[in-house]
Structure 1
Amino acid sequence: MARPTQERSSALVPVAPPPAADEAEPLDDPRMGDVDEWGRSESMRALARKVYAPLYDKWFRVEWEDFHNIPARGGALLVANHAAAVPSDAPAIMHGIETEMGRPVYGLADHYFKSLPVVGTLWARNGGVVAQPDNAYRLLREQEQLVLVFPEGTKGPAKTYQERYRLRRFGRGGYVEIAMRAGVPIIPIAVVGAEESMPTLARVPALAKLLGTPYFPITANMLAFGPLGAAAYFPSKFKLRVLPPVTFDVPPDQERYSRSRIMDCSEEIRQSIQEALFEMLQQRRSVWFG
């Protein structure tokens, strides 16, 4: 608004009162409407996909099998094996689905990531959500989103190279109960290649305790690249196989579900991913060329 001017006669030009708050013009703020209630920013995700695309296409050369098993609409819980000292599988899965289908993917992870300065904000802006049952339920049931979870938790990335492709226990099956409550299918995904992208040679529990981290790895990348090895991946060939959806013949929103059935379903899903991994490894000719 222009500043009021004063005439030579010293009479002031009348100034209109400022508009009411509800009549004020909106600010030209590019962030308005971009960050959702979970902290995800679509503009940030678009930038992340643009930056990550060369790594996805040229470095890891990601290939998918049976991609059609991922639903084009409706909520679904994506469940995959987890690996690499700094996990490389989650970005590959999220990038591939969002690029090919145009559907956002929300990744569930431990609250530890959310608590990190700067990293926690970037993680949230790129679709990271704290792995809490109510969060998963709302995303799946109420908002019908695709949600990615790694039931191995930090035990997956903490595995040493000698333990590669041998799945850890899938927790207590909480992810199965969430899928039942939300009335959505579980889509198992087997990932080959992530284990070799940043293999852990040894763990240092004392340093992990001192730093307050889930684990502290010594990786082959650190030995090969020095300090850069903390973020530089080896160019292993990625192959991802999407297994048939797992559905449940139980009504959603029940207060309780059979604990034994939940555990049985969880183990069946773990075993199906494990068998797919062994089959894919038998077919693989080379770590680097697939």
Structure 2
Amino acid sequence: MCAYFGVRPRRWVGLLDKDSLLLKLIENEQVIFAEYLRNSFYTVASGNAHFIKAGGVSLPRGACPDYFLYCPKCVEIAQSLVFHDIPNIEMCITHGVELVTQCPNCQISQHWYEAQLFRCKCGFERSTANRVARNFIPSVLDPFQFPSIVEEVRCKYISAKICAALWESRRHANNQDYCDLPIQVIDYIETTLTKQVAQYPGFIKSLHLAPWSQGGSATIFWLADRALEKIYVEGQSCHSKDCCRLAKVDRKSALKALNSTHKCNAHPCMHFVRRLPAQALARA
């Protein structure tokens, strides 16, 4: 439509807003079609492109990428979903397929207002692009070994809540399906903590929750705490001989172990204690 009407916006907000020039041009041609489009367009806060709404749902900063992203399955059925505009989504939540960002044939990324839905400008049929399966939920990793996974879970939960809200706002009355992405994130947290407790049975609760409090949000910490309540067993010890529950450390040795750049030989388990947060030492 941009090409047909000769519209070339400086910013995407100038085109997707309900008061855009494109809609006014279409309205002159076909009033009913323009009204249908207006219901699907975004609501943009006056003077601020960072606050936009789709169906009453606020989208985060960075929504609507400059370049056209697409799911080959969506193109095949002539769709371009609003979910693709969510920042860092990187996949089609409807089909579980990785979004294509560059043409597999010419390796070019097109501005979305210049791109056609079905074909790249080089002639490549978008629906024939490889359909790479992609999971919304990441692989289960130990947050003590990979602390960045907690931040990733936090971002996933934000995206999941937005997707669920958009799904409900645009779901037809006869469609009984629902978006379960938030539930998937919650299940992921519970699975991760179950493995965490099994691997470190001697850790106290505050130590188990330490990575979730440092890298996540208040909501993620609350979800982790709730999950831990179901599976935590008090008074267990780690399977290795250097469990912090068995460590006997005086204050002077503890401070030296935590702050010194030299190894402490006061006790064999001190090499292990040097790597532990203060919660473990308080318990010991």
Normalising by structure 2, we get a TM-score of 0.25
Higher relative contact order (CA 8 A, sep 6+): 1
Larger gyration radius, structure 1 or structure 2: 2
Give the strand-richer structure, 1 or 2.
1
Per the normalisation by structure 1, the TM-score is: 0.24
